């Protein structure tokens, strides 16, 4: 959601100056999406000592700080001293904090928009919810006070690791939101499918980091992850008239983040394939996934009761990306083996890999 007001009528600015502001306004949505913040352009109303909100964009990647549109509203100096200061002096302000509508904490950054002569004609404002970061700072402060000196390093390390996973997840979500926006703009089904494949790969990777950020330990429960990937795919990829059920059985296996990410991507491709290719001529299907662990060797079997992939199928010989990616991930990231098993009905794929670190 965004909008731009008819500038020249409302402000005393020249045509040329309005064109510059409109140029910036055209990119407002993408700025809001990538920075995960509400973005505004304000112009000065000289007689009134106030600013007019002439353009706005709400982020598509996270909830906006505002329930309603602020377009056309007037900000008085008392309410928005920073905005007026920046409009009048042409100086940037970054890092000032305020309170959101929901009583959270937000950070406001303001930069001037200038014309070719260097005169400030508007300001670009970014407002971002930083409640989580502020809460985190408080928690760390508290923890530091109560933790014994010897344990402090460990506490700091675990907080940093958790924070990194959170940020990785967040960045991946922004990337998939941007791809989703691009997917909506294409009229080609083929291009939309390529975007959808990338979106689901990225979402599966984000699940791993979400899991690790929440669990607070360095290892992810692969069984839980596979369940999450499966339910995400069945809801996002199957068509409404398809009735596809997925079961995940077997033991819980814990893996470090790099292996867990590889497993999530592999399972993503295999389930995606079953949904896309196995049940073409039918409206019902089962996908069964089982995990077994024997002496630190993990085996994951993904099986569907669809039309089957053909007896002499070799992933290294296919020209499509999906199974090549699976082949590569199993070999290089898991140091494991991939095989297509004989099955009287449907497709049965097995991957086996060690969960101990190799010595080399």
Cβ distance to ligand ADP smaller for residue 147 or 343: 343
Distance CA(310)–CA(168), nearest Å, equals 39
Shortest distance in whole angstroms from residue 223 CB to ligand ADP: 21
Taking the least distance from each CB to ligand ADP, the nearer of 156 and 307 is: 307
Task: Choose the contact partner of 183 out of Mg ion, ligand ADP, none; CB within 5 to 8 A by kind.
Answer: none
Between 205 and 271, CB nearer to ligand ADP: 271
Binding partner of 235, given ligand ADP, Mg ion, none, CB within 5-8 angstroms per partner class = none
d(CA 212, CA 220): 6
Report the DSSP beta bridge partners of residue 341.
Answer: 348
Contact range with Mg ion by CB under 5 A, out of 35-43, 129-137, 268-276, 300-308: 268-276
- Beta carbon nearer to ligand ADP, 228 or 274: 274
Smallest distance, Å, CB 315 to ligand ADP?
Answer: 7
306 binds, among Mg ion, ligand ADP, none (CB under 5 to 8 A by kind): ligand ADP
Single out the residue of 21, 17, 20, 15 nearest to residue 4, CA to CA.
21
Q: How far is the CB of 343 from ligand ADP (least distance, A)?
A: 10
Shortest Å, Cβ 318 to ligand ADP: 5
Q: Where are the alpha helices (DSSP H) in 216-340?
A: 222-237, 257-273, 321-328
Would you state the structure tokens that stand for residue 71, as one six-digit string?
């377009």
Which residue's beta carbon is nearest to the bound Mg ion?
322
Nearer to ligand ADP, 80 or 304 (CB): 304
Q: Nearest residue to ligand ADP, using CB?
A: 322
Cα–Cα distance for residue pair 229/203, rounded to 1 Å: 8
Indicate whether 273 belongs to the interface with Mg ion (CB under 5 A): yes
First-to-last C-alpha distance (Å) of the chain: 53
Ramachandran area for residue 296 (φ above 0: left; ψ -120 to 50: alpha; else beta):
left
CB of 127 to ligand ADP, least distance (A): 41
- Least distance from C-beta 273 to Mg ion, angstroms? 4
**Binding region for ligand ADP (CB under 6 A):** 269, 273-274, 276-278, 304, 306-309, 318, 320, 322-323, 347
- The tokens of 316 are what? 């290294």
For residue 347, the partner it binds in Mg ion, ligand ADP, none, with Cβ less than 5 to 8 A by kind, is ligand ADP
Dist CA 120 CA 131 (whole Å): 32
Facing residues of 300 across strands? 291, 351
Q: Taking contact as CB under 5 A, which single stretch among the options 63-71, 140-148, 243-251, 317-325 is the one that binds Mg ion?
A: 317-325
| Residue/partner pairs of 132-139 with CB below 8 Å, 24 or more apart | 134/105, 136/163
Q: Within a 10 A sphere around the Cβ of 205, how many other Cβ atoms?
A: 22
Least distance to Mg ion from the beta carbon of 283, Å?
20
Of the candidate residues 322, 334, 346, 349, the single one contacting Mg ion (CB under 5 A): 322
Residue 277 CA to residue 5 CA, distance in Å, equals 49
- Greatest distance between any 2 Cα atoms in the chain: 82
The C-alpha atoms of residue 360 and residue 353 are separated, in whole angstroms, by 16
Residue 211: its H or E element: helix 189-215
Catalog residues that contact Mg ion under the rule CB under 5 A: 273, 322
């Amino acid at each position: 959601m965004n909008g731009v007001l008819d500038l020249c009528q409302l402000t005393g600015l020249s045509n040329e100056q309005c064109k510059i502001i409109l140029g910036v306004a055209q990119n407002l949505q993408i700025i809001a999406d990538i920075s995960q913040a509400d973005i505004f352009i304000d112009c000065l109303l000289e007689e009134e000592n106030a600013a007019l909100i002439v353009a706005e964009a709400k982020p598509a990647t996270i909830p906006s700080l505002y329930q309603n549109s602020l377009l056309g509203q007037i900000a008085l100096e008392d309410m928005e001293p920073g905005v007026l200061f920046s409009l009048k002096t042409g100086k940037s302000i970054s890092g000032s904090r305020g309170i959101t509508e929901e009583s959270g904490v937000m950070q406001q950054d303001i930069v001037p928009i200038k014309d070719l002569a260097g005169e400030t004609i508007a300001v670009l404002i970014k407002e971002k919810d930083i409640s989580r970061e502020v809460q985190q700072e408080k928690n760390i402060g508290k923890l530091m006070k109560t933790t014994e000196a010897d344990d402090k390093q460990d506490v700091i390390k675990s907080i940093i690791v958790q924070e990194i996973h959170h940020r990785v997840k967040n960045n991946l979500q922004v990337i998939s939101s941007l791809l989703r926006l691009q997917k909506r703009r294409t009229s080609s089904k083929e291009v939309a499918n390529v975007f959808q494949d990338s979106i689901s790969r990225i979402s599966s990777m984000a699940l791993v980091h979400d899991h690790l950020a929440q669990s607070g330990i360095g290892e992810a429960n692969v069984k839980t992850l596979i369940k999450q990937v499966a339910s995400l795919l069945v809801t996002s990829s199957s068509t409404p008239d398809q009735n596809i059920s997925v079961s995940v059985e077997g033991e819980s296996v814990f893996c470090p983040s790099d292996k867990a990410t590889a497993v999530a991507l592999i399972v993503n491709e295999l389930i995606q394939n079953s949904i896309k290719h196995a049940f073409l001529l039918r409206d019902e299907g089962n996908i069964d996934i089982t995990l077994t662990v024997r002496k630190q060797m993990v085996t994951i079997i993904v099986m569907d009761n669809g039309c089957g992939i053909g007896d002499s199928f070799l992933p290294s010989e296919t020209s499509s990306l999906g199974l090549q990616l699976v082949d590569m991930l199993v070999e290089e990231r898991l140091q494991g083996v991939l095989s297509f098993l004989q099955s009287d009905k449907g497709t049965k794929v097995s991957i086996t890999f060690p969960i101990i670190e190799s010595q080399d």
